Amino acid sequence: MTDSNPLDLLPHRAPFVFVDRIVELEPGLRAVGVKKIAADEWYLRGHFPGNPLVPGVILVEALAQVAGIALNSEQHKVCRRTYLSAIRSMKFLRPVLPDEEITLVAQRRAQLGNLTQFAVAASVNGTAAAEGEVVLGWVS
């Protein structure tokens, strides 16, 4: 990979980027990112008033974005437009609270044509928060 920002490998832009930074990257195979959801995010006001929790769908999107960075980091594949094609499984193992730093891991498992499967996991302070599998599709 070049010296560019790995987040530039995402088609997303604010306010829909759910990765603050990438801390490990094996191009095309694996990525580890981190995200801290601020307590004042608009979607936390209703999820849930007085007891805000990071929505599971936000965790899934963050994991898919880290998988997209891993996939798009292959030098010859940087121009792909990736999208979340399937959520094969997802378990939520503990609530994630605002202002907790979430570690997001995506590991490539399989590929069939323009579909790539990733095992994904989110944790907070070493404690598993979510795990599952997502499938990314792409068009060149």
Do you know the residue count of the chain?
140
Instruction: Give the integer Cα–Cα distance in Å for 16 and 39.
Output: 16
Instruction: Give the integer Cα–Cα distance in Å for 49 and 34.
Output: 25
Q: Is 47 a catalytic residue?
A: yes
Catalytic, out of 29, 41, 47, 84? 47
Residue with tokens 């094969």: 88
Q: Who contacts 15 (Cβ-Cβ below 8 Å, separation ≥6)?
A: none
111 is written with which tokens?
């590929």
Residues with catalytic roles: 47
